Amino acid sequence: MKVCIVGASGKLGRYMVRHALERGYEVVGVCREKSIAKFDKYRDRMRIVPGIDIPHLIR
């Protein structure tokens, strides 16, 4: 099964990534580009997608 975790670099998101990988899920994590390094130890086990920076869009 494949799951997408939005906010993967946050406290709950990192828990969900670890939990899903331990159970054999295919994981796609969406996070800020500056937070991608938090997933270095999972890089070979998941796909990481940088999200867009929205604050400038909602002004």
1-59 per-position pLDDT tens digit:
999 999 999 999 999 999 999 999 999 999 988 999 999 999 899 999 988 766 655 55
Can you give the pLDDT at residue 42?
93
Rounded to two decimals, the pTM is 0.81
The alpha carbon torsion through 42, 34, 51, 6 (nearest 10 deg) reads: 50
Alpha-carbon distances of 38 from 1, 11, 44, rounded to whole Å: 23, 11, 13
Q: CA-to-CA distance for 24 and 45, rounded, in angstroms?
A: 10
Can you give the pLDDT at residue 59?
57
The residue extents of the domains of the chain are 2-57
